[in-house]
Amino acid sequence: MSAKLNIINTFENSTKKPIVFLVLIGLAGLLLRLVYFPYDVPLFGDGTGYFWYAIDMGILNQLPPGHSVINNGWPSFLSIIFQLMDSNNFIDYHNMQRFVGVVFSVATIFPVYFLCSRYFKKSYSLLGATLFIFEPKLIQNSFLGTPESMYVFLTVLLLFLFLSNNFKKIYLAFGIVALLALVRYEGLLMIIPISAVFFIRFRKQKKDLIKYIICISIFILILAPVSYFQIETMGEDAFSHILAGPEYYQNQLWSEKVNQPGIEVLEPGGLMKINSSALADFLYLGSINLIKFVGWAQIPSFIIFVPLGIIFIFQKLDYKKSTIIFTIVVMLIPAFYAYSRDIPEIKYLYVLYPIFCVLACFTFKKFLEISEKKNLIFYLIIVGIVLSSAIFVEWKSLDNEHYQESFKILTQISDRNITINSDFGKYGGEFTYFHWTRLHNVDEFPILKKDIPKLKIKDAFSQSRFLQAVAENENIEELSGWEDKKGINNLDEYFELLKKQKVTHLLLDKENNVRLIDDELRIHLRDIFENEQNYPFLIKEYDSKENGFNYHVKLFKIDYIYYEQLKDEKNLKLEVNEFLRTS
């Protein structure tokens, strides 16, 4: 194959073509995200907390008090965007929060390409950038309105700048570490690998070692003021949570209680032996979950390329490869901590995805070097990445129509002065949309979170509400009624619990896939939904099908007096039948 037709040489000998290719795959990645973008779907999960922090900060023009959000870099940036908007509809702000995440996700393709170019030719780097832009889990995460997209962008940018030979860029990299720590507090750990590599890289140049003082000063100057204001408004800064990990382990592994299994007092008033059983559980759970989630992170695009890349990176080590290795090791620490506490979220590994792209480039390089059909291999890799991504995103895509209808349905019933159960939902998260129904009739928006109208409809006392009450020092005696439903497998016990919780209405859907209830009880609830005529003590007051929705939800008023009468009659019949049988 002539050099003119060789894709490797074509990109390597051109300045414009790699950039054009990068822009094209970036636009393709943006298009894929826009196709699956959850338009007009209210936020749920962690995105809700970041949203209200940003709204309050935009109104108050200062760090808002009364929020539990620790990582305030992301909502602080959002607050600037929100102030530029002119809309009274809170859904528009939700769309914007998600779209900003999408923009960061797409824009990261450029620092990923330039980071890969620190190690490889332009063609290999383009493959690494393609791998990143079409990574399906990152695509899905960009829709959540959470800080991971911004966090990954800043991580790649600082690695690219740090590997520069220009000290001004290295200074900037240390400044970005501070910004990274504001977006997610575990980003503070990045100071460890870049400091270690800094001393390895410049160990023979004493004048350059002195420049580390400037680097760390920049880092502190950015971080210190923000930390001070956080303590002023919240009573603590985000970085105190870095110490929370060791404190948690210490509290779990050591105890003042002498009679706990695995703990022995060495001497009166002295230290105690570590709880070996708890330590083994932490190590086992952390290791197993880490292996499981790192494996899951490789599917679908990384599964072939990254494992081989790990082997290749240890050949002829230099400071550039050491940067990658140290970063992986250090940034796995927060993931291991979360997984040892059985927090099953892959988001703790997203920061490593750009590094996975670099590792994959080692494999791309080997494949293309040994192949005579370089063009074919190059395009096959591109097509494989795009197809696997599209299939995965479609498989795991959010049911946007369902969530849009869920919000509209709950809006229609939220103005009723009733108390409902919390055991309904197709995918989970639907119940949280009652929070957003309070903004449905608000004339002006944005408003402060504390000024949100109160919700008329109430829900059964839940475990999460109990924990919130404890955290806020409320009178728990006034919040009686919560019990674990996982031990309830029949309707008699269930309705007894609802009566105790002063639930007036039963809200059900066809699927009833909520967690924390017994499967046998779930079958009974589905039977109520399908055969309402068999339960005359339930009076139907709302049916979403009658209002033109595809998502089928029913609301029943519970007549407890009639229910008790029916139950007494049933028991009487059983007693009569038993008497006749034994006579």
Q: Using 70 as the pLDDT threshold, list the residues of the chain that sit under it.
A: 1-5, 232-276, 461-484, 571-583
Quote the pLDDT of residue 568. Answer: 77
Quote the pLDDT of residue 260. Answer: 43
What pTM was computed for the model? Answer: 0.88
Quote the pLDDT of residue 264. Answer: 44
Dihedrals φ, ψ of 420, to 5°? Answer: -115, 165
Query: By C-alpha distance, which of 315, 324, 309 is closest to 194?
Result: 324
Distance of CA 39 to the CA centre of its chain: 19
Quote the pLDDT of residue 349. Answer: 96
C-alpha distances in Å from residue 89, one per residue of 58, 443, 444: 16, 9, 8
Cis peptide upstream of residue 453 (ω within 30 degrees of 0): no
Structure tokens at 468: 């919130």
* Helix boundaries (H) for 259-352: 276-297, 305-313, 319-340
Quote the pLDDT of residue 323. Answer: 95
Distance of CA 4 to the CA centre of its chain: 46
Cβ atoms of 102 and 30 closer than 8 Å? yes
d(CA 442, CA 420): 24
Quote the pLDDT of residue 477. Answer: 47
Residues near 15 by beta carbon (within 8 Å), at least 6 away in sequence: none
Structure tokens at 51: 């949203």
Dihedrals φ, ψ of 538, to 5°? Answer: -105, 120
CA distance from start to end of the chain:
99
Amino acid at 454: K
Structure tokens at 564: 């008790």
Give the CA angle between residues 90, 96, 100 to the nearest 5°: 150
| 458-459 and 419-420 strand pairing | parallel
Question: Cβ atoms within 10 A of the Cβ of 515, count?
Answer: 9
Quote the pLDDT of residue 243. Answer: 61
Quote the pLDDT of residue 366. Answer: 92
What Rg do the C-alpha atoms of the chain give, in angstroms? 29
d(CA 446, CA 583): 75
Structure tokens at 24: 């094209």
Quote the pLDDT of residue 102. Answer: 98
